[in-house]
Amino acid sequence: QFSSLPFICNFDTPEDENLWTILNGNQTNKWHYGTATNSIFGNTSAVSGAMYVSDNNGVANQYNTEATSTVYFSRYIQFGSAPEFKLSFDWKCLGEGNSDYVKAFLIPSTMELSNNIILETGGLTERLSATNDWRQEEIIIPGDYANGIYNLVFIWRNDFTIGQQPPAAIDN
């Protein structure tokens, strides 16, 4: 199942959650859809949600800094014909510099994800962390992706040492 462009998801309804595949496995820190946090940008809904990392089943946007975790949420996107495409989303993540972070990727639709695979190279973003404030990210994707189906992937990765709350959250 894939979405064609334009694809808009603001995580404000349960249907928005169902658009994404969440791969948490047996990790301690997991992606959850909920209302424990949400972006300050562009929310017009009475109930605003987000996708965020939690160690307590989504009750809070918090993580266990002593439990290594690698988790993903993703959506297959069908790109049409265009010279370039725009991806925008809101994010926040204090984490721990290059060790506890969120990062966005576009990977081939044939590539399988698992909690044993750590995506590192070729991301759409750098490792995003070091802010407790919501930020707006805008990425221009080159036309090389035109007429193909790719998996838009958000990874949360943390090691087992120090870290700062909150972990990753994605919205809009």
Give the residue among 150, 148, 93, 151 at the shortest CA–CA distance from 126.
Answer: 93
Q: Name the 3-class secondary structure at 144.
A: helix
**How high is the pLDDT of residue 40?**
75
Q: Using an 8 Å Cβ cutoff, are 162 and 87 in contact?
A: no
Q: In this predicted model, what pLDDT tens digit does every residue of 22-69 receive, in sequence order?
A: 999 999 999 999 999 988 776 655 568 899 999 999 999 999 999 999
Angle subtended at Cα 71 by Cα 165 and Cα 133, rounded to the nearest 5 degrees:
30
pLDDT at 169 over 80: yes
Q: What residue type is assigned to position 139 of the chain?
A: I
Contacts of 121 (CB under 8 A, 6+ apart): none
Residue 161, CA distances (Å) to 70, 98, 169 in order: 14, 12, 20
Q: In this predicted model, what pLDDT tens digit does every residue of 91-150 receive, in sequence order?
A: 999 999 889 999 999 999 998 888 777 787 778 999 999 999 999 999 999 999 999 999
Angle subtended at Cα 69 by Cα 21 and Cα 1, rounded to the nearest 5 degrees:
10
Is the model's pTM score more than 0.75?
A: yes
Q: Using an 8 Å Cβ cutoff, are 78 and 4 in contact?
A: yes
**How high is the pLDDT of residue 26?**
94
